[in-house]
């Protein structure tokens, strides 16, 4: 059984964190070897030794292992792990392209220090040696690692790197990776996001009642948050440090509506230490000619139902600019009529109004 007490990974040294990760992985893969400081090329008199070939040491590696010094002669023993729960969970977040010339199943590099060049070296080691490569970083190093990942993605887009080169690589921050591993030890505690394939909206048109359907699409949106996300948390009076789940939800445009866009966050509140769900309304708009028919309120009801089904505590949304076709006062009346409170936020570069509903 896992203890309820959360580990503050920010206080761990790289070595202590490495021991923690290895210990959790041994619980997840009791029948597979988990090694720290793994030498990716074992001594092989028939092939080569360390005098002839560079052999990076991986911070934490999980078998099956392929240790032949000449990678061309490898047999992909790691392919047996393609359907394990860890890979299934990762595939919910990333489109993984398996490295079938890997030296091990998981190659995990812990990036708590080092220059940008060192970090790029860690990227190369993890992606080339692991069937699945994972970079774990913290603080400023996590920001650096995320920037480097974007830079390498640009090289892929500009055909300076093969498109498949880094598609087996994931980047986590230190706390979210521990949460991810703990959820694998107790998988039943990680609930799936509940959403229907489509929703029916009823509205009034003169003396008639009409209806239309709106499809829903959901995408995993990683485990990082930026200043805009922190602002959402702060207007809900939350001090969130750890992000557990993060989904982007899109409803495509219809004859009556512009695209409806939502963001779902599940965070650990620093004060209560509880998991708290938030749905942020990114964009909601009714097409001109179909307003004042109850469509907007019906869409808010859908959002409320999604929030309740997923245990959310808050629904919030930033109001748009004061425009001719959507005056700010009209937006404020719309949300107040539907039970939202209004809050003016002066923090950051831009001031704005937020609509907030506590469930």
Pick the CATH number of 9-188 from 1.10.3470, 3.30.1380, 3.30.70, 3.40.1350: 3.40.1350
Report the alpha-carbon distance of residue 302 to residue 199 in Å, rounded.
8
Cα–Cα nearest to 29, from 116, 105, 94, 117: 105
Report the alpha-carbon distance of residue 118 to residue 318 in Å, rounded.
40
Q: What is the pLDDT of residue 120?
A: 85
DSSP one-letter code for 259: P
Q: What is the pLDDT of residue 171?
A: 84
Q: Which range has highest mean pLDDT (140-144, 344-348, 355-359)?
A: 355-359
pLDDT higher than 50, residue 46: no
Burial of 286 (0-12, 13-18, 19+ CB in 10 A): buried
- Structure-model confidence comparison of residues 111 and 161, the more confident one: 111
- Structure-model confidence comparison of residues 297 and 275, the more confident one: 297
One DSSP character per residue, 123-185 reads HHHHHHHEEEEEEEE-HHHHHHHHHHHHHHHHHHHTTSS-TTTTTTEEEEEHHHHHHHHHHHH
Share of the chain above pLDDT 70, in %: 82
Tell me what the mean pLDDT of segment 147-159 comes to.
75
pLDDT higher than 90, residue 51: no
* Domain parsing of the chain, residue ranges: 9-188, 191-358
Mean of all residue pLDDT scores within the chain: 82
3-state helix, strand and coil shares in percent for the chain, rounded to the nearest 5: 30, 30, 35
Geometric angle at alpha carbon 146, from 259 and 64, rounded to 5°? 105
Q: What is the pLDDT of residues 331-356, one digit of tens each?
A: 999 999 999 999 988 765 667 899 99
Tell me what the mean pLDDT of segment 134-139 comes to.
87
Report the CATH superfamily, name and number, of domain 191-358. Answer: Gcn5-related N-acetyltransferase (GNAT) (3.40.630.30)
Question: With contact defined as beta carbons under 8 Å apart, do 356 and 343 qualify?
Answer: yes
Q: What is the pLDDT of residue 172?
A: 86
Which contacts (CB < 8 Å, 24+ apart) does range 85-89 have?
85/28, 85/184, 85/187, 86/28, 86/184, 87/132, 89/180, 89/183, 89/184
Report the alpha-carbon distance of residue 243 to residue 114 in Å, rounded.
25
Q: How far apart are the first and last CA of the chain?
A: 31
- Structure-model confidence comparison of residues 95 and 218, the more confident one: 218
- Structure-model confidence comparison of residues 357 and 180, the more confident one: 357
Q: Which range has highest mean pLDDT (48-52, 63-67, 304-308)?
A: 304-308
Of 97-111, 203-217, 218-232, 251-265, the one with minimum mean pLDDT is: 218-232
pLDDT higher than 50, residue 73: yes
pLDDT higher than 70, residue 173: yes
Contacts of 55 (CB under 8 A, 6+ apart): 39, 40, 41
pLDDT higher than 90, residue 7: no
Tell me what the mean pLDDT of segment 151-164 comes to.
71
- Structure-model confidence comparison of residues 74 and 250, the more confident one: 250
Consecutive H or E run containing 307: helix 295-309
* pLDDT band with cut points at 50, 70 and 90 for residue 94: low
Which contacts (CB < 8 Å, 24+ apart) does range 192-198 have?
193/218, 193/245, 193/247, 193/264, 193/310, 194/306, 194/309, 194/310, 195/249, 195/306, 195/309
Report the alpha-carbon distance of residue 274 to residue 320 in Å, rounded.
31
Q: Are strands 34-39 and 208-215 parallel, antiparallel or unpaired?
A: unpaired
* pLDDT band with cut points at 50, 70 and 90 for residue 107: very high
Sign of the dihedral defined by the CA atoms of residues 157, 161, 166, 171, in that order? negative
Q: What is the pLDDT of residue 224?
A: 63
Share of the chain above pLDDT 90, in %: 31
pLDDT higher than 50, residue 5: no
Q: What is the pLDDT of residue 175?
A: 83
pLDDT higher than 70, residue 27: yes
């Amino acid at each position: 059984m896992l203890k309820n007490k959360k580990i503050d990974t920010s206080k761990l040294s790289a070595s202590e964190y490495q021991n923690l990760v290895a210990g959790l992985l041994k619980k997840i893969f009791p029948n597979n070897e988990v090694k720290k400081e793994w030498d990716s090329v074992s001594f092989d008199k028939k092939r080569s030794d360390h005098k002839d070939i560079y052999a990076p040491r991986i911070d934490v590696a999980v078998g099956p292992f392929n240790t032949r010094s000449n990678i061309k002669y490898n047999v992909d023993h790691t392919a047996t792990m393609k359907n394990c729960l860890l890979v299934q969970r990762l595939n919910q977040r990333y489109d993984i392209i398996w490295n079938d010339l890997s030296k091990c199943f998981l190659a995990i590099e812990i990036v708590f220090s080092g220059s940008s060049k060192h970090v790029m070296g860690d990227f190369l080691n993890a992606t080339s040696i692991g069937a699945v490569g994972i970079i774990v970083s913290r603080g400023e190093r996590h920001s650096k690692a995320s920037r480097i990942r974007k830079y390498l993605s640009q090289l892929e887009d500009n055909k300076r790197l093969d498109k498949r080169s880094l598609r087996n690589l994931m980047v986590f921050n230190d706390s979210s990776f521990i949460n991810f591993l703990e959820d694998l030890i107790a998988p039943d505690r990680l609930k799936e996001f509940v959403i229907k394939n489509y929703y029916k909206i009823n509205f009034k048109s003169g003396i008639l009642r009409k209806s239309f359907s709106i499809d829903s699409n959901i995408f995993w949106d990683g485990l990082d948050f930026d200043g805009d996300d922190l602002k959402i948390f702060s207007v809900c009076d939350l001090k969130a440090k750890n992000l557990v789940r993060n989904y982007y939800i899109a409803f495509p445009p219809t004859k009556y509506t512009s695209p409806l866009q939502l963001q779902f966050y599940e965070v650990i509140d620093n004060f209560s230490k509880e998991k708290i769900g938030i749905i942020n309304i990114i964009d909601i708009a009714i097409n001109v000619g179909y307003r004042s028919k109850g469509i907007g309120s019906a869409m808010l009801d859908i959002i409320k139902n999604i929030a309740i089904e997923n245990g959310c505590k808050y629904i919030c949304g930033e109001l748009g600019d004061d425009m001719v076709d959507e005056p700010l006062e009209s937006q404020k009346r719309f949300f107040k009529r539907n039970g939202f409170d209004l809050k003016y936020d002066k923090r950051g570069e831009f001031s704005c109004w937020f609509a907030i509903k506590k469930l």
